Amino acid sequence: MTGEQGVVCEKLKRIGYSNGQRIRIYGEEFDLISDPVTVHEQMIFVEGVERRSGETRRIRIPLPILRMVHRESGDRQEGRKIRAA
């Protein structure tokens, strides 16, 4: 993980994408069991247990959230690199 990816993951943790948090995303509720993991700059995910089924799933962080985090970090060049996958 590069330094920039580490900064993005830290910011994602601060806004609620971290181990032990509960999120509602993609129409489902999850209890997160991991911190953000970077595959590459356009793909960051967390693992969570779906509340309804109890299944463990890998949940991709939505691109609009990643763009917001990049904008807030003042890293406009990196923000431009993130496009719809």
Domains contained in the chain, CATH given: 3-80 (2.30.30)
Predicted pLDDT of residue 83: 52
Predicted pLDDT of residue 78: 46
Which positions of the chain have pLDDT values less than 50? 76-80, 84-85
Instruction: Give the Å distances, CA to CA, from 28 to 2, 24, 68, 82.
Output: 31, 5, 22, 25
* pTM of the shown model: 0.78
Predicted pLDDT of residue 82: 52
Q: What is the spatial distance between Cα 58 and Cα 60, in angstroms, rounded to a whole number?
A: 7
Predicted pLDDT of residue 2: 73
Q: Report the candidate in 74, 23, 77 with the shortest Cα–Cα distance to residue 45.
A: 23
